[in-house]
Structure 1
Amino acid sequence: MKILILCTGNSCRSQMAHGFMASFDQRLTVCSAGTEASGKLNQSAVKAMKEIGIDISHHTSDSVEKYLGDEWDYVITVCGGANEACPAFMGKVKKRLHIGFDDPSHATGTDEFIWSEFIRVRDEIKAGFYKLYKEEIESQL
């Protein structure tokens, strides 16, 4: 089963979701991309994932253009706030979903607060994607 996770910059939320989904089942082919890919990973996202034993440091921040020619079982957008435009995927896909999350890279305040936002969003992403995996995807494998 092929799953593509999309957001704008492909540096933080989509990368964490990619890491979680790949960790749930090795039979899944998981990729992530952005409509305005930053070309680099958010190091706080990498650190937050490493803290729970998932290494995403080898991921790349890719443009959605790279995947338009492929067929996907799921394309899942993870953008959050109302002022943030969710990317549209125009390639071949069986099922489109949206599971929105705040962008912790936009958090402001003390270092401790910013870090707590990365942890909060990481944990929300894990819960949201694990629910999707258990309720919908696992039974199709």
Structure 2
Amino acid sequence: MTKQSILVLCTGNSARSQMAEGLIRDQHGDRFIVHSAGTRPSIVRPEAIRVMSEIGIDISDHRSKSVDEFTDRPIDIVLTVCDNARETCPYFPGAAKIIHRSFEDPAEATGDEDVRLEAFRHARDQILDFTQNEFVRLIIEDGRNADG
């Protein structure tokens, strides 16, 4: 079975898309090649790295990438995780499916470290729920039904 490629898009490729990439790879890496990118890449937020490590997923070697790095690659599924990325998403020829699910941006949280980490945990948990439930229904089960 050939693995399908998934590109998770966000604005900065600093938190939500990075966490989604790590979660999908961890849960469904046997079925998918997973990448993430941003329309305006920045840095991978240390808070995202930390809250992912709390659940045993290491994204410390991830880097923030531009969506431009992927425009000439075959992408089967594009998953946008913020409204801005959906609005500015480039066209990917041959993308079989484009899915949009917006999550709150934890990078916008203000306050001390505990407050910021809680915002990142909340976003992580929302994305985790999505990748374990809705994602499975939209991608895996629909694909299985279409295959026969």
- TM (norm. structure 1) is 0.89
Q: Partners in 1 of 2:24 and 2:72 — Cα distance?
A: 22
Matches within 5 A, 1:120-131: 120-131=122-133
Q: Partners in 2 of 1:55 and 1:85 — Cα distance?
A: 24
Shift of 1:137: 2.6
- TM (norm. structure 2) is 0.85
Matches within 5 A, 1:95-110: 95-110=97-112
Q: Partners in 2 of 1:44 and 1:129 — Cα distance?
A: 20
Q: Partners in 2 of 1:70 and 1:132 — Cα distance?
A: 26
In structure 2, the residue matched to 1:72 is: 75
CA shift in 2, pair 1:46/1:124, >3 Å: same
Q: Which runs of 5+ in 2 are unaligned?
A: none
Identical positions, percent: 38
In structure 2, the residue matched to 1:43 is: 46
Judge conservation of contact 2:9–2:85 (CA < 8 Å) in 1.
no
Matched AA of 1:90:
Y
| Secondary structure in 1 matching 2:75 | strand
Superposed CA RMSD: 1.6
Matches within 5 A, 1:2-41: 2-27=5-30, 28-38=32-42, 40-41=43-44
Shift of 1:42: 0.3
| Secondary structure in 1 matching 2:60 | coil
Shift of 1:85: 5.6
Q: Deviations over 1:23-79 (max 9, x none)?
A: 1122210000001111x2100000000010000111121100000011212101111
Q: Which has the higher helix share?
A: 2
Q: Partners in 2 of 1:123 and 1:65 — Cα distance?
A: 29
